[in-house]
Chains A and B, each alone.
Chain A
Amino acid sequence: DSGVTQTPKHLITATGQRVTLRCSPRSGDLSVYWYQQSLDQGLQFLIQYYNGEERAKGNILERFSAQQFPDLHSELNLSSLELGDSALYFCASSVGGAASYNEQFFGPGTRLTVL
């Protein structure tokens, strides 16, 4: 158990819908990362937050948005869902700070299926 929690574990929804994925980082970690893992695209970095502020942005679609709250938990919002959004979504957390090289601890993931 990494100490990072994600809810829900599984999510099944229809095209065009909107969903919210939730992540709670390890105690003391200030950085949260979101990743999408699909069979054809591998592990893709979406976005990173550090202490409530967006720090880095990767291949995140405009239909997707995220935020980190004052209690440091984070939510990833996916809207206007398409079949291709079906994937495993991971959250990871790290201590953060000035260095980019802090070990990231991954949560168990949320499996999203869009029908």
Chain B
Amino acid sequence: GENVEQHPSTLSVQEGDSAVIKCTYSDSASNYFPWYKQELGKRPQLIIDIRSNVGEKKDQRIAVTLNKTAKHFSLHITETQPEDSAVYFCAALASYIPTFGRGTSLIVHP
């Protein structure tokens, strides 16, 4: 089955800095890669996603890049703000089955 590795597990940055979270996947059949933000005690919420036929997607301060050859994708957050502090999960979907990374706890210090 699919295996998704996510790094780092914890990321601490100063407000205004950029943050990068990386994921690798194993199943070349995976064709959809969403990123979720989960605040403490809340539900996961989709923040951005990318399909396998696209290499990069941007939405304001958030961007995702996908390298199908290397089987890795990354989340980039620029100009971080304290409200960006949360746990971020990547996922890869193949044949309707989502596999999640273990999560990255992002801490943005004011």
Which residues from chain A sit less than 8 Å from chain B, CB to CB? 2, 33, 42-45, 48, 55-56, 58, 90, 100-101, 103-109
Contact = CB atoms under 8 A, between A and B. Distances in A.
B29 to A, nearest CB: 10
B25 interface: no
B49 A42 contact: no
Contacts of B98: 33, 45, 58, 104
On chain B, which size bracket covers the interface?
20 to 34
B96 A42 contact: no
A55 B96 contact: yes
Nearest to A102: B32
Given A45-B99, A58-B97, A103 B89 contact: no
A48 B99 CA distance: 13
B68 interface: no
A44 B100 contact: yes
Interface in B19-55: 31-32, 34, 42-46, 49, 51
Contacts of A58: 97-98
B34 to A, nearest CB: 7
Nearest to A57: B97
B44 A43 contact: yes
A106 B31 contact: no
A109 B99 CA distance: 19
B69 interface: no
17 contacts: A2-B43, A42-B100, A43-B89, A45-B98, A45-B100, A55-B96, A58-B97, A90-B44, A100-B31, A101-B31, A101-B32, A101-B49, A103-B34, A104-B46, A106-B43, A106-B45, A108-B43
Interface string B73-106: 0000000000000000100011111111111000
Given A42-B100, A107-B43, 9 more contacts: A2-B43, A33-B98, A43-B100, A55-B96, A56-B97, A58-B97, A103-B34, A103-B49, A105-B46
